[in-house]
Amino acid sequence: MRAGTRIGAYLPVAIILFAVGAFSTSQHQRGQEPIAAVPPEGIAGLVKELPDYAPFGYSGMAACNGKLYASSNVGLLEFENGNVSKAYRVQGKYSVVSGPWCDEAHHLLWMQDNQRNDFLNFNGSGWVEVSMPQPPKEYFTRGDIAEGFRGSGNSHGFWLEGGGGVWRWDNEKRQWKPERMPRMDYPNRVIRVLALESRLMLVARHEGMSLLFRRGQQFSSDTVHYFDDGWREVPNHSGMNYLLKGSVTVGDTGYICTEQGNLLAVNLAEVKSVKAPGSCEALAKASSNRLLVSFTGDGVYEYADKWILRAKSPYPSSEGEHWAYLAEQGSQIAYATSSVPHLDKAKSSDTDIKWTRSGTTAMWLSEGQGFRPVVLDR
């Protein structure tokens, strides 16, 4: 059992959205279609209405402004007092959202509407629509849209990364501003922002088809860069090549969870390996301003010069391949998994694609050193 490599938590849905032109980057207005807040008793019905080829799934999680949030293909779920309190719907149909991301500098919660491809931020009282940034190469490809966008922030600002570009949010002018980037030709590209408190770092990938790599296959390692009178590469002292799966920043240290399950720490001096209890699957920043990590089949730990168990793994040892998501608000840890879809070659044809899943799609909230399941139809 291992955590899966995420190539799109809503792969079947993404195929449909591409067919109707979801890769368009033209600006648009939401018009008369407001963001709907569905009460808890209405969420189960939304899940049941999903088609068989696109079952319910989570795609991200964040703690922001005192609440926990999870993105899904029925909208953005909000949690209060240990239970789901509402679902924010961005569309009447196919309300698939990505994120969420917390912008602590401006006290905003961000998400992306995967059908319109625009972004929305929430200040606690209302949602504001924000158009996609200008692409660095004048357009976003279907592949750019499939790989998605990621938000990163610190106490000074909020950044968006995707499609080979990085932009900083100008809250006064309410627009995206391109961030300085090193020159990179294909297949080299920026894939992540590490927003350290004192410095912005960019993670670059040098493999064009990294999603197709098999375990044990040779590859060029990701690299970390920062600007200081010119672009500088952070020395890799970890002793390994790696591909980033997830990342988080805590103060002036960035942490990378690799596709191989290793945990790395990044600062201006080096990329180094961190000895860990198990195989890393998800990262978050705890309210204590410490690192929080979920290890496959083991549990969630907080790191403060030593590993402290916060909650044991909620799933059995027979659990299949899955994506994992993690967030923490005070004493409450939220943990979710979504089963990785695999093409069922035996049952699929050119006109009828079938998927198989071995993992569990579920969410849990911590109670002591354990977890209890979140029920969406309470």
pLDDT in tens, 281-301: 999 999 999 999 999 999 999
CA distance linking residue 92 with residue 145, whole number of Å: 21
Position 255 confidence tier, pLDDT thresholds 50, 70, 90: very high
pLDDT in tens, 148-189: 999 999 999 999 999 999 999 999 999 999 999 999 888 899
pTM value? Answer: 0.90
Element (H, E) at 13: helix 11-19
CA distance linking residue 348 with residue 234, whole number of Å: 46
- Please report, for the chain, the start and end positions of each structural domain, with discontinuous segments joined by +: 11-373
Position 96 confidence tier, pLDDT thresholds 50, 70, 90: very high
Given this model, what pLDDT does residue 5 score? 39
Kindly report the number of other CB atoms within 10 A of residue 296's CB atom.
19
Q: Which residues contact 351 (CB under 8 A, 6 or more apart)?
A: none
CA distance linking residue 340 with residue 321, whole number of Å: 6
Given this model, what pLDDT does residue 367 score? 84
CATH number of 11-373: 2.130.10.10
Q: Which residues contact 189 (CB under 8 A, 6 or more apart)?
A: 164, 204, 205
CA distance linking residue 172 with residue 59, whole number of Å: 30
Position 33 confidence tier, pLDDT thresholds 50, 70, 90: low
pLDDT in tens, 46-73: 999 999 888 999 999 999 999 999 999 9
Helices (H) and strands (E) in the chain, counts: 3, 31
pLDDT (average), residues 63-90: 94
Position 211 confidence tier, pLDDT thresholds 50, 70, 90: low
pLDDT in tens, 322-354: 999 999 998 999 999 999 988 888 888 888 888
Element (H, E) at 18: helix 11-19
Given this model, what pLDDT does residue 377 score? 65
Q: Are 219 and 177 in contact (CB under 8 A)?
A: no
Q: Which residues pair with 64 in a beta bridge?
A: 67
pLDDT in tens, 237-248: 999 999 999 999
Provide the 8-state DSSP code for 277.
S
**DSSP 3-state assignment of 210?**
helix
User: Which one is predicted more confidently, 328 or 305?
Assistant: 328
Q: Residue 30: name the closest of 99, 150, 119 by CA.
A: 119
Question: Over pLDDT 90: what percentage of the chain?
Answer: 71
Position 317 confidence tier, pLDDT thresholds 50, 70, 90: confident
Beta strands in 189-270 (DSSP E): 189-195, 200-205, 223-227, 231-233, 244-250, 253-258, 263-266
* Cα 346 to the center of its chain, rounded Å: 31
User: Which one is predicted more confidently, 284 or 26?
Assistant: 284
**How would you list the strands of the sheet with 165-170, edge to edge?**
149-153, 158-162, 165-170, 175-178
